[in-house]
Amino acid sequence: NAGVTQTPKFRILKIGQSMTLQCTQDMNHNYMYWYRQDPGMGLKLIYYSVGAGITDKGEVPNGYNVSRSTTEDFPLRLELAAPSQTSVYFCASSAGGAFSPLHFGNGTRLTVT
């Protein structure tokens, strides 16, 4: 019963460094999402995907890139990390987009100093 798995759990980056946040799901869900949650705030959508090979921007895509080469994996790439990207990042998936429940991973806490 793995569900949605995110790695790493925690990471500290220096300004200007790059990294990839990994997300994998074992539920054969077509829809996958990346959200960020700043301290004391709600969730904002960064990117989403409705199937392998298809991605689209959310509310706050600047400074991030994604790819979806398989149904299971949806990595999020940060290029040239900035302090404004300090946040908790959540990956999520659902079977049918608007018509099915959304399942979240446990999050990655990222600090950029």
Partner 1 sequence: GIQVEQSPPDLILQEGANSTLRCNFSDSVNNLQWFHQNPWGQLINLFYIPSGTKQNGRLSATTVATERYSLLYISSSQTTDSGVYFCAVYTGTASKLTFGTGTRLQVTL
Return residues touching partner 1 (CB under 8 A). Answer: 31, 33, 35, 42-45, 48, 50, 58, 88, 90, 92, 97-104, 106-107, 109
Residue among 16 and 96 whose Cβ is closer to partner 1: 96
**d(C-alpha 40, C-alpha 94), whole Å:** 25
Q: Give the shortest CB-22-to-partner 1 separation in angstroms.
A: 18
User: Is 20 or 104 the residue whose CB approaches partner 1 more closely?
Assistant: 104
CA distance 65 to 99: 26
What count of Cα atoms within 13 Å lies in the side-chain half-sphere of residue 30? Answer: 9
Complex with partner 1: residue 30 or 67, whichever CB lies closer:
30
- Taking the complex as a whole, how short is the minimal distance between the CB of residue 12 and partner 1, in angstroms? 17
Min dist. Cβ of residue 84 to partner 1 (A): 19
Could you give the CA distance from residue 77 to residue 54 in angstroms, rounded to a whole number?
Answer: 16
CB 32 within 8 A of CB 53: no
